[in-house]
Structure 1
């Protein structure tokens, strides 16, 4: 392998990666399986691909082609050479609106293609739930479908031609193939089913393009594709139908298909219960009609939607695109949501997307649930009911009974005339089951078909033909944790087990999104998988095992990957399985530096509240920034001459008491915000108090992994404030990061302390406290608003929207992601470039484009600091906005 990697490095212009970090990150996809690659190649050009394939074949090394790595069946992880097309070969080469065709490179993301086609009123029909990151090459490999296959079919029906490469170096267009000696086919082998993607589509021959779609990289390497586009609907209306049970919903599918529908999707009460548990304030839940099972039926017009809605016992018709998106998010996040049951039990893929004729769906689901019960298993079902395709995650014991269940499940679906895979391909999860679905002659034909392209069996071997065992290479079994995994933090969601926390990531890759939400800002800036939430989770998983990433908690690979984690907590909100990388980073840093000297920035930034109390910050930041581990490129904020605590004067009032939490940033850097908040609270008739001693939540210590000190600081603060929290006095926070910390992270750090728990329960944001008692204010104005990441993740923003509206402000809340400063991150040496790259993706361009009379509202100190760093704007806190609207200040 060293000779191969040396040759690749010499002949390939792209990235040739053999380091432990890369091999760990690419060791799995979104499946249960683990195959550590020998080398990862990220080709920059098609010549790189040709050279890589040629050298791999010369050395007899298997080849696995990979897009976004979201394959659930284990199609895109292999032990030899992994070719990652998503990094560089990601262009939409051409859109031809007249012919309704587009030419794409294999790494082109589906959403990017649709963005290029949208100005022409066109789109690519198949749309998996991973559309924001899945690649066209991956969709072609798996014959992906998505929610709209009832209207536009599978990927196979939407590809005009493929540009492919054989292992022997032959390259051709599938419309004009060379002589290949393909096998004879009996159509009787193949069930008549729209969602059949198991095995090879030999019944599509002589159309070689369609026959190669869905071959999972086992026959050819796709170098490019010409795909068909369809006319985008001018309007979409969503009817949500509620039913008494899943079977009733399934039994009504055929009646609904008689209408002109674009999508017909099903979810059950189990998934909704998980959503309700994780995001109880989700507005989507309020939009669901009564029921315990729901069908989402998308139509082209309201009339059709109303007729569809009349079929169900209860229903709603949703015309608002924004509300439709809220509802669709429940369905799109299904692959992640279903990985944990309401009680926290882990659920797994494996039997993920079988399909039956839709007229058989109700009967199949009844028998499938009986099969689950007979095996003592539970599962959350959802999926493409209009096509009879059912997704499910099951609480398998992967060490026992896994094979027996899959074999019985395969027999059941075949008995209903179905396919063991209806969307994601066979991979390692189901290829071994193909003889239960196809006769021996078909299995033999599959082998001859593969051999016609890949006689050396080097293209993704072990899938479809000569399959690997379905219960081999299961990552939780072949890579168990070998070091202690109990944590210093509570990790309540995972019982204090770091191994369980690392298994939360199932690889669906939502963190690879490049727009919308917050997760994952460092990946958006670098494009490197190791800087994604998924990549870091995999490194932590491999660290616990020790085979690839060695040295355990002392691992430099994990340390370096986490170095660019901003600690923004966007993943805790945006990740469908609640991966909280900021918390994992704090735990890792605690363990990594235990008993050792830390980076100097941990002392300068982690101990910031102390240095501020001692009056040393201006001296350190202006004279010795590099000695303090700080970025010399950044303008450091100046400490106020007098703190908020020093200048606060209590106004006597008989009104109810409220305690302003004097966080470090408001107190020392921008005390005017504290005075504005106090003025507003006094105006509303409240008696404003501040702590009689300096307090700190401990956030800066926790974010640098100094958990022992952070716990002491937090407990001290909770004891100081117990006079108020014990009396039911609300504690109002002005800095979102500190407020979020007190409400959430404090419980992970010291939730066993009753005073800490009381402080968490008493803490609320300024907007949460003020908005209910605020009457309409005669203010006017416009604002763009940057939501602090920790508020986005932990607290929500509804109260803030309402507050600004009551203040007479027309507010545009930016969907700009993280500001990029993220507390200590942007101040630390070596982070400035990434910090500013994150800000330049959306926030700073929006600020610069705003009208001069438009206020920039940012409650987070980090956000305001970053806006000042990258623009001429002077951002304000919402307390200041309200104080001005009430005439309490200029």
Structure 2
């Protein structure tokens, strides 16, 4: 029976509203992108922030027999977070509770909590969650549980299966269960007696079947996420213990996981790492069994191809180029809570493998700078290979597991398969202590023969892993569509039939993530493959991992960098396949989400493993949107910027006068009319500032004072005090007062109004005028430095950053934050200190590494710093906050609630950002110079 998705859409809209439900083609396409090589676009997307929204979605899905795919962060690699029908993705506000027990031995986490955020909360107690996947800084707890994700150190002893205490679950039929609550268990047993009895029966059947029980125990003696967690059927008898552990690794096919309670594990205080370099892979692999002891926390193996891939790259050890061909590296880490035990552990480790010759002496280091370089080599593999792959290729990371005694021969066999099937770039690395190999290949999927080639490769991998070594086709990445065709091959008929019975028991209607984990289509792993169309250097580097989504200020509003890039790829694919109409339509429909609302803050580069920069990409895309009329306007602004800047500042004073006389309604209507004439007219907001002024330093008296050139950036000299600010003092006046109080003679360019770093033009994609204005400004400042002897101070971090980047400046330019920290703090001790104040460390501060100095300044002049959690970018995006206020509102939607009630003022170092922070917080945000000036009067 076909499903009428238009009716499904209407019913979901009536229950959830338009913010939570969409059938928009652009967003359906972009939001369905995950870290796998699959592309399946759902008919509808629901963004859920509450359990009620999930309940309503499942109710509609049941009524129409519509499939539902649950999606957390979408960092999964095997295609388990994409599907047809309804894609239910976790929103950016709900399911984020973190509750730590009094003894710190348990932690309860909402499904949307990012793994590293949970560990950050547990760190003060020297505890952490057990799972430690490489995606921990981006993946969510719901996905960690659903995939039984493990990682470098947790092995098979501290993964979700071994450390889960209880879970709150919503089933496809609408029943709810808290496995940790007795009353909930009783109620569930009454509502779902058939599930309880079926689980008891299947458990009894399994335990009484010696062959099957032994098979299960053997399969889980090494890492294994292929299929369902059948080990629960032999490990537990109580039906709720069974449910608790069967949910782990079920990949959203059994129930929706609302919340999980973990047993926490110890986080060691001290670490030491060593790089053991062996002459060949056989020797390296032979070192692994002796290292399977308490003293060793982690052992990562890198083959010769891996070593070659990173040799000579930035941050890698220089001696890699001296290694003999065929060498292999075992990266070893020991951890302990005291240095004496740590030293003992490292000694035990060296003694355990001293009988094996190494190319270099094994030496442990406890210095983070030293062992950090070791681990940078391990973590650098993926970004290096992903970022340097040929254009148009995909990045596929598979993970398999073997008995440790089989690792050496298995590595040789895998390498042979790489060459046999045309993937000579293939590398092998992984969690050696657990017998877990990851391998990376970068195939093309342009033609059917490319797909057939990949299929032949995977068939041979399956034969190798399953038939020759009886290993795991999926060690820790989850089954997904990538390995669903091989589950029966790996497990055998009996176990596979047991899995099918479990799926039918939990989800009789079969609507939860159908086709994932179990699939009778033996070609599902080579269907619906994502196409990596060639676009440009920025786009082509992206591996669509989703790491950027945590730091992007527009992820909640509409799109993250990954989603923008995948949309651009689809436009290019349509063009390259001759569908010009489809490409043009998608480009037009996607402009708001992809181009107009990107803040270009470049925070995506912080977490991007391939150093991609969406901000620079979007600015280049905006260049193409500048028509001749727009270019004339931009040219006029650049050539007459002094007058434009003065008019703008005066205009805000006039605007405040109108508002004072007429109120917000009339003022807003006037602005609305103005916007019909020009998109440069901002939306009215009562928090708008008054106009500002140019600085007025005192005339020099004598020549013995040190001199500084002060350049007031556009924001501070254009926008003055907001209604929330305690007085009308402008930033230029504060800076001059502060510098003169510290004993400096202040020099200001005579043509200040005309000068600009060019940021406002670059943000629009007009690099010609952007560079012209920066060069004009740099030249004017240079002429005032007395051949470089007088330093220049700029009072806005983003302007300082733009002035210094990609430019050859032979005189000293400092941001006001640097100058206050390095020079003024010693000259101006506090006469009094503020109480608790808020501090914002925004995108420019992050890029410039200014956060530590900003904190030091506030600590000097205030008793306490409050940095609201999760606020990393204001979303004001320079002047964009005036014309696209929804970005600022979305980025700072939690700011007000996360500020303690006693906080009445905040500080940063960029006037535009401060305006956005003030607007959304309701308190005054001003430049740090105000704090220092007030406390040193």
Q: TM-score, structure 1 length as denominator? A: 0.74
* Structure-to-structure mapping, 1:300-315, within 5 angstroms: 300-310=337-347, 311=349, 313-315=362-364
Structure 1 position 223, deviation (Å): 5.0
Q: 1:382 to 1:408 in 2, by over 3 A?
A: same
Does structure 1 residue 622 correspond to structure 2 residue 654? yes
C-alpha separation in 1, matches of 2:55 and 2:389: 50
* Structure-to-structure mapping, 1:673-688, within 5 angstroms: none
Q: 1:124 to 1:723 in 2, by over 3 A?
A: closer
| Other structure's SS at 2:150 match | coil
Q: 2:928 aligns with which of 865, 876, 882?
A: 876
* Structure-to-structure mapping, 1:628-707, within 5 angstroms: 628-640=681-693, 642-643=694-695, 663-665=713-715, 670-671=731-732, 694-707=754-767
| Other structure's SS at 1:470 match | helix
| Other structure's SS at 1:848 match | coil
Does structure 1 residue 213 correspond to structure 2 residue 241? no
Query: What does residue 529 of structure 2 align with?
Result: 474
Structure 1 position 216, deviation (Å): 2.0
Q: 1:19 to 1:271 in 2, by over 3 A?
A: farther
| Other structure's SS at 2:485 match | helix
Query: What does residue 484 of structure 2 align with?
Result: 431
C-alpha separation in 2, matches of 1:608 and 1:393: 55
| Other structure's SS at 1:390 match | strand
Query: What does residue 798 of structure 2 align with?
Result: 737
Q: 1:188 aligns with which of 210, 215, 221?
A: 215
Q: 1:436 to 1:108 in 2, by over 3 A?
A: same
Q: 1:651 to 1:253 in 2, by over 3 A?
A: farther
Q: Deviations over 1:293-320 (max 9, x none)?
A: 63343334333322333335122226x9
Q: 1:118 to 1:341 in 2, by over 3 A?
A: closer
Structure 1: unaligned runs, 5 residues or longer: 282-290, 487-493, 513-518, 748-756, 851-855
Q: 1:109 to 1:799 in 2, by over 3 A?
A: closer
Structure 1 position 712, deviation (Å): 4.6
| Other structure's SS at 1:73 match | coil
C-alpha separation in 2, matches of 1:654 and 1:268: 63
C-alpha separation in 2, matches of 1:577 and 1:229: 34
Does structure 1 residue 200 correspond to structure 2 residue 222? no
Query: What does residue 545 of structure 2 align with?
Result: 507
C-alpha separation in 1, matches of 2:400 and 2:589: 42
C-alpha separation in 2, matches of 1:834 and 1:163: 29
Does structure 1 residue 239 correspond to structure 2 residue 285? no
Q: 1:689 to 1:307 in 2, by over 3 A?
A: farther
Query: What does residue 402 of structure 1 align with?
Result: 454
Query: What does residue 321 of structure 2 align with?
Result: none
| Other structure's SS at 1:567 match | coil
Q: Deviations over 1:546-565 (max 9, x none)?
A: 69996458534441465554
The 8 Å contact of residues 393 and 443 in structure 2, kept in 1 or not, is answered as yes
Structure 1 position 792, deviation (Å): 3.8
Structure 1 position 59, deviation (Å): 3.6
Does structure 1 residue 178 correspond to structure 2 residue 197? yes
Query: What does residue 17 of structure 1 align with?
Result: 22
Structure 1 position 30, deviation (Å): 1.6
Does structure 1 residue 69 correspond to structure 2 residue 69? no
Q: 1:827 aligns with which of 878, 882, 901?
A: 882
The 8 Å contact of residues 549 and 555 in structure 1, kept in 2 or not, is answered as no
Q: Deviations over 1:261-286 (max 9, x none)?
A: 555556799699979967899xxxxx
Q: 1:785 to 1:743 in 2, by over 3 A?
A: farther
| Other structure's SS at 1:586 match | helix
C-alpha separation in 1, matches of 2:176 and 2:505: 14
Q: 1:295 to 1:658 in 2, by over 3 A?
A: farther
Q: 1:114 to 1:240 in 2, by over 3 A?
A: closer
Q: 1:661 to 1:51 in 2, by over 3 A?
A: closer
| Other structure's SS at 1:340 match | helix
C-alpha separation in 2, matches of 1:775 and 1:44: 47
Structure 1 position 355, deviation (Å): 2.2
| Other structure's SS at 1:428 match | helix
Query: What does residue 285 of structure 1 align with?
Result: none
Q: 1:377 to 1:47 in 2, by over 3 A?
A: same
Q: Deviations over 1:58-103 (max 9, x none)?
A: 5443321222222111101102112234567626598777997677
Structure 2: unaligned runs, 5 residues or longer: 180-184, 190-195, 237-241, 318-327, 351-361, 659-666, 675-680, 719-729
Does structure 1 residue 572 correspond to structure 2 residue 572? no
The 8 Å contact of residues 845 and 851 in structure 2, kept in 1 or not, is answered as no
Moved more, 175-184 or 144-153: 175-184
C-alpha separation in 1, matches of 2:585 and 2:699: 49
| Other structure's SS at 1:337 match | helix
C-alpha separation in 1, matches of 2:818 and 2:99: 53
Q: 1:499 to 1:149 in 2, by over 3 A?
A: closer
| Other structure's SS at 1:818 match | coil
C-alpha separation in 1, matches of 2:474 and 2:372: 28
C-alpha separation in 2, matches of 1:866 and 1:170: 44
Query: What does residue 436 of structure 2 align with?
Result: 389
| Other structure's SS at 2:386 match | coil
Query: What does residue 192 of structure 2 align with?
Result: none
C-alpha separation in 2, matches of 1:460 and 1:533: 26
Query: What does residue 515 of structure 1 align with?
Result: none
C-alpha separation in 1, matches of 2:249 and 2:585: 40
The 8 Å contact of residues 29 and 70 in structure 1, kept in 2 or not, is answered as yes
The 8 Å contact of residues 125 and 149 in structure 1, kept in 2 or not, is answered as yes
Q: 1:561 to 1:622 in 2, by over 3 A?
A: farther
Q: TM-score, structure 2 length as denominator? A: 0.71
Structure 1 position 700, deviation (Å): 0.6
Structure 1 position 342, deviation (Å): 5.9
Structure 1 position 198, deviation (Å): 0.9
Q: Deviations over 1:342-394 (max 9, x none)?
A: 68878854343222234544554455456546644335655433323234443
Q: 1:677 to 1:50 in 2, by over 3 A?
A: closer
C-alpha separation in 2, matches of 1:16 and 1:412: 45
Query: What does residue 78 of structure 1 align with?
Result: 83
Structure 1 position 579, deviation (Å): 3.7
The 8 Å contact of residues 241 and 314 in structure 1, kept in 2 or not, is answered as yes
Q: 1:723 to 1:147 in 2, by over 3 A?
A: same
* Structure-to-structure mapping, 1:448-527, within 5 angstroms: 449-451=502-504, 453=506, 457-464=510-517, 465-467=519-521, 468-476=523-531, 480=533, 485=535, 494=537, 499-500=539-540, 504=542, 506-512=544-550, 519-523=551-555, 527=556
C-alpha separation in 2, matches of 1:422 and 1:605: 59
Query: What does residue 56 of structure 1 align with?
Result: 61
The 8 Å contact of residues 382 and 390 in structure 1, kept in 2 or not, is answered as yes
Q: 1:813 to 1:326 in 2, by over 3 A?
A: farther
Structure 1 position 665, deviation (Å): 4.5
